[in-house]
A = this chain, B = another copy of it.
Amino acid sequence: MSELIHPSALISKGAFIGQNVSIGPFSIIHDNVLINDNTNIGAYCELGVQNSFSNSQRLIIGKNSTIRSHNVFYEGSTFGDCLTTGHRVTVREKTIAGENFQIGTLCDIQGDCSIGDYVRFHSNVHIGKKSVIGNFVWIFPYVVLTNDPHPPSEVLIGASICDYAVIATMSIILPGAVVSKGVLVGAHSSIKGETMENWVYAGNPAKAICPTNLIKLRDGSNRNAYPWTEHFHRGYPEEQVIKWIAP
């Protein structure tokens, strides 16, 4: 076994572990897991939890990923390269996520979701089943994407979050709601139905407040705060940033 795998870790023989993968103390890798090269997995993680909904599909973790301690991932989901997680993340089966996905501490992804590239969840985000999330989306702490219009029922209508949308702290996206491209949802809001691109929504229930480009950066520059791609570039590849700031 690789020197990068702590001797207390329990690695099933059926798991496929790539080159240069480190696995921390007391972690458990079940069968039916593929961890690609150059990935670091922290302590107390359980990857590839068996369940009856996964159709025996593998859990696939892309290369160059970092999974911090106390994570639980079920079998049956797929993550692109450069996944990064905080601590105590839970991800269930049949979620397909793109590259460079960041999942904060305590997030809970319920499964059956589609998630694009460069999506970032801060801490303690709850993503209900059947959510569809685009690219370059930001979701902040204690946001919940719901799915059942009359709970409990067997009718699940996932929320849709489009490219570049931002959802601030403790907001709820109600079943079937669409957070359109570039929308900013203010803190403590509830979003229902459709929204207009590049508008701010706030309140419970949320109302359309103003176009996002009326918000100024509070850094003394008098620049626009939105689209955020014009000023916030930490962690994005240079070729992407060039597209964002090109005249």
Q: What mask results when residues 172 to 204 of chain A are scored 1 for a CB within 8 Å of chain B, else 0? A: 101000000000000110100000000000011
CA distance A42 to B10 in the complex (A): 14
- 28 CB contacts below 8 A, A to B, read A10-B25, A25-B28, A28-B43, A42-B46, A44-B46, A70-B72, A86-B90, A106-B108, A120-B152, A126-B142, A140-B151, A144-B169, A144-B170, A146-B168, A150-B228, A151-B168, A151-B228, A152-B228, A152-B232, A153-B217, A153-B225, A153-B231, A153-B232, A154-B231, A169-B172, A188-B188, A188-B190, A188-B204
Residues of B within 8 A of A151 (CB): 138, 140, 166, 168, 228
Residues of B within 8 A of A190 (CB): 187-188
Using a CB–CB distance below 8 Å, which chain A residues touch chain B?
A: 8, 10, 25-26, 28, 42-44, 46, 49, 69-70, 72, 86-88, 90, 105-106, 108, 110, 120, 123-124, 126, 138, 140-142, 144, 146, 149-155, 157, 166, 168-170, 172, 174, 187-188, 190, 203-204, 215, 217-219, 225-226, 228, 231-232, 234
Known: A44-B44, A154-B234. 6 other contacts (CB 8 A): A69-B72, A87-B90, A88-B88, A108-B141, A153-B217, A155-B219
Residues of B within 8 A of A42 (CB): 46
Residues of B within 8 A of A141 (CB): 108, 126, 144
Residues of B within 8 A of A150 (CB): 215, 217-218, 225-226, 228
